Amino acid sequence: MSLAAIRPLGRSRWLSLAQRDGLTAWSLALPATLAMLSLIFVPTLLVAVLSITDWQFGARSFDWIGLENFAEIASDENGRKAVINTLIYVGVVMPASVALGLLAALGVQASGVGRGFFRAAMFLPVASTLVAMATVWQMLLHPSLGLVNSLLGTIGLAGPDWLSDRELVLFTLAGIGIWETVGYNMVLFLAGLAAIPEDLYQAAEVDGAGKPWERFWTVTWPLLGPTVLFVVTITAIRSFRVFETVATLTAGGPGYASDVLVYALYREGFEYFRAGYSAALTVVFLVFTVSLTLVKFRLLDRWIFYR
């Protein structure tokens, strides 16, 4: 061994072993720490600061306006719409895709031949590129040429204008959201179902719960409880982020009828350059998702425990 290898680095003589280990650890963690600070934490703080200003992109000055941006979101019709539409969207997509995801998982689990095919088929929407698929939905839902209205026509129904009808557009988008989310929830439920021990079903059968329906209520449903809560919060968080379909299909229209939080913060900030107002929308969005994520973290502990 050469002398250089034995002799510690010059500086290390002045540091204890523990201090040297501390330096090594921080040198390993430093790039990620700096990146986290500059790309996540400092920007998030700046968003909070911007949200109490009237600053516009490119402006030379701004005023501190307190909570005026938030007051505008709450009082202005369009601001309120972004929040309420998001809540309606989540309120439709969440229960529907959780229920259908559970049904799909139960069906796939009960099936023998073709199980892999059914699982893959129902998961495919999750794996696809949503923007591309949204353009396909635009074709499917075209008022006169679309397949959906053509099919409705064959049974004598006049199909609506799915994406231009103010009353309907949000629910059309929710329908696409459900189509995209069911397979995802199915996969989570399949993991939950696989964790239920088979002998519990046998025990239930001995106790007289022989019909599938009885077995579901006595064994599956109670044991799946934590998974259900977990999937509910995950779906809520995912749906709160709805953006791609709105940006591709409606741009929040017609007349803000399908405006949602993430699309509104994009439009106000990056099309209208109202940085302060957009930051306030971002803060509202963050408060909603953080609350839901905290709920989810609590459930996650229990879910993993059950698995």
Partner 1 sequence: MRRGFAGSLALYVALLIGAGIALLPFFWMVSLSLKPADEIFAPGIDLIPNVLAWDNYARAFAEVPLARFLLNGVIVCLGILVFQILFAVPCAYAIAVLRFPGRGVLFGAVLAGLLVPPHVPAIPVYLGLAELRLLDSYTALILPFVASVFGIFLFVQYFRTLPRDLIDAARVDGLSDWAIVWRVVFPTAWPAATAFAIFSIVAHWNDLFWPLIAVSNPDLATPPRGILYFRDQEAGSDIGALMAAATVVTLPMVALFLAAQRSFIQGVAMTGLKG
Q: Please say which residue, 148 or 257, places its beta carbon nearer to partner 1.
A: 148
According to the binding rule CB under 8 A, does residue 4 interact with partner 1?
A: no
Which positions from 84 to 113 touch partner 1 by CB under 8 A, shown as an x/- string? Answer: ----------------x--xx--xx-xx--
Please identify, using beta-carbon distances, which residue of 73 and 234 lies nearer to partner 1.
234
Binding range to partner 1, per CB under 8 A, among 34-42, 59-67, 70-78, 216-224: 34-42
The interface with partner 1 within residues 238-267 (CB under 8 A) comprises 238, 241, 243-244, 247-248, 262, 265-266
Give the footprint of partner 1 on residues 51-80 (CB under 8 A). Answer: 57
Q: How far is the CB of 73 from partner 1 (least distance, A)?
A: 16
Q: What angle do CA 274, 275, 280 make, to 5 degrees?
A: 100
**Under the criterion CB under 8 A, does residue 127 sit at the interface with partner 1?**
yes
| Alpha carbon distances (Å) from 77 to 173, 191, 253 | 21, 43, 14
* Residue 181 CB neighbour total at 10 angstroms: 24
C-beta of 123: minimal distance to partner 1 in Å? 7
182 binds partner 1 (CB under 8 A): yes
Q: Where are the beta strands (DSSP E) in 237-284?
A: none
Are 152 and 159 in contact by the 8 Å Cβ rule? The answer is yes
123 binds partner 1 (CB under 8 A): yes
Closest approach of partner 1 to the CB of residue 239, in Å: 12
DSSP per-residue string spanning 97-157: HHHHHHHHHHHHHH--TTHHHHHHHHHHHHHS-HHHHHHHHHHHT-TTT-HHHHHHHHTT-
Instruction: Give the Cα separation of 261 and 86 in Å (integer).
Output: 6
The residue within the footprint of partner 1, chosen from 74, 139, 157, 194 (CB under 8 A), is 139
Task: Give the pair of three-digit tokens for residue 276.
Answer: 């302060």
Cα–Cα dist 279/269, whole Å: 8
